């Protein structure tokens, strides 16, 4: 198979749904061999069937360091290296700070911040020929929306990690960049709210502040990740690509 990512080995965490799934399809379509990971075997099986080829799923929780070790041991045994990592898995729970407990805080930080940190750290020995790492943050990393405090804090941490890693990994030929999506039509929208009416109200409120007047599509995020992961961005590192219909930019 030909394609601009032909011969590349990629891993996408949270690759069974939403932005991760769209990115897996994009990469596989460009000829990469794509590993996807997530916690739910049934969702992963569905995604593998949808992607069609050049893909393999491995179950695992990014908050669990043993799962990460097992994931990288498998990729090491099967392919011997990794060229592209998209640290995309993430979780969100709306909780006004006054009502938050330690469980909410720890779950959010253990997945999004600690999980992303060790997803990258434990992948490094497999980057034997240089490569590209893309971290998925959020436009929320510069906003102060009520109830998103812990989530936004983790996404700001991710934006910061990219600066340090871009500096630390440049001599190994690894570029590290960030995608910060705005409001994108994926399953993570619905899980934030308890009723369909609440989803509609929230989406109407978001649309009213998005200059482009619409939500983003997962495929549009996949194009942005592709840019950061491919040689098209060969002179770019430590950068944050914001794809949010202008909401944090105008």
Q: Is 16 in the site for ligand NAD (CB under 6 A)?
A: yes
The number of angstroms, rounded, from the C-alpha of 162 to the middle of its chain's C-alpha atoms is 13
User: Please, which of residues 38-77 interact with ligand NAD by CB under 6 A?
Assistant: 38-39, 61-63
**CB nearer ligand NAD, residue 133 or residue 188:** 188
Q: Which of 148, 151, 226, 227 is catalytic?
A: 151
Q: Is 29 in the site for ligand NAD (CB under 6 A)?
A: no
Number of residues that bind ligand NAD (CB under 6 A): 28
Residue 174 DSSP SS3:
strand
Give 51-83 as a DSSP string: H-SSEEEEE--TT-HHHHHHHHHHHHHHTS--S
Cα–Cα distance, 33 to 7 (Å, whole number) = 7
**Member of 54, 186, 230, 237 binding ligand NAD (CB under 6 A):** 186
Taking phi first (over 0 means left), then psi (-120 to 50 degrees means alpha), and beta for anything else, what does residue 55 get? beta
Cα end-to-end span (Å), the chain: 42
Q: Is 150 in the site for ligand NAD (CB under 6 A)?
A: no
**Member of 138, 141, 177, 237 binding ligand NAD (CB under 6 A):** 138
Q: Is 108 in the site for ligand NAD (CB under 6 A)?
A: no
Question: Is residue 35 annotated as part of the catalytic site, yes or no?
Answer: no
**CB nearer ligand NAD, residue 231 or residue 246:** 246
Beta strands (DSSP E) in 95-193 are 131-136, 174-181
Q: Give how far Cα 64 sits from Cα of 76, 153, 238, Å.
A: 19, 20, 26
User: Please, which of residues 191-250 interact with ligand NAD by CB under 6 A?
Assistant: none
**CB nearer ligand NAD, residue 159 or residue 170:** 159
**Member of 5, 19, 58, 134 binding ligand NAD (CB under 6 A):** 19
* The two three-digit tokens of residue 97, written as one number: 């700070």
Enumerate binding residues for ligand NAD (CB under 6 A): 13-14, 16-20, 38-39, 61-63, 88-92, 111, 115, 136, 138, 181, 183-184, 186-189
């Amino acid at each position: 198979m030909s394609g601009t990512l032909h011969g590349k080995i990629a891993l996408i965490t949270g690759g069974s749904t939403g932005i991760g799934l769209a990115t897996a399809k994009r990469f596989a379509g460009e000829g990469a061999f794509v590993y996807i990971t997530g916690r739910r075997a049934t969702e992963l099986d569905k995604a593998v069937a949808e992607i069609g080829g050049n893909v393999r799923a491995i179950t695992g929780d990014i908050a669990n360091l043993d799962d990460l070790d097992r994931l990288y041991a498998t990729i090491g045994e099967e392919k011997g290296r990794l060229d592209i990592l998209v640290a995309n898995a993430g979780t969100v729970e709306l909780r006004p700070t006054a009502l938050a407990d330690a469980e909410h805080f720890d779950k959010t930080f253990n997945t999004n911040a600690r999980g992303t940190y060790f997803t990258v750290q434990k992948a490094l020995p497999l980057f034997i020929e240089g490569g590209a790492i893309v971290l998925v943050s959020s436009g929320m990393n510069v906003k102060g929306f009520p109830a998103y405090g812990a989530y936004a804090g983790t996404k700001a941490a991710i934006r910061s990690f990219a600066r340090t890693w871009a500096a630390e990994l440049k001599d190994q030929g690894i570029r590290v960049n960030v995608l910060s999506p705005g409001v994108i039509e994926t399953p993570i929208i619905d899980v934030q709210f308890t009723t369909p009416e609440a989803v509609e109200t929230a989406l109407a409120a978001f649309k009213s502040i998005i200059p482009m007047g619409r939500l983003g599509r997962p495929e549009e995020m996949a194009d942005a990740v592709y840019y950061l992961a491919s040689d098209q961005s060969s002179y770019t590192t430590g950068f944050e690509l914001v794809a949010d219909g202008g909401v944090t930019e105008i």
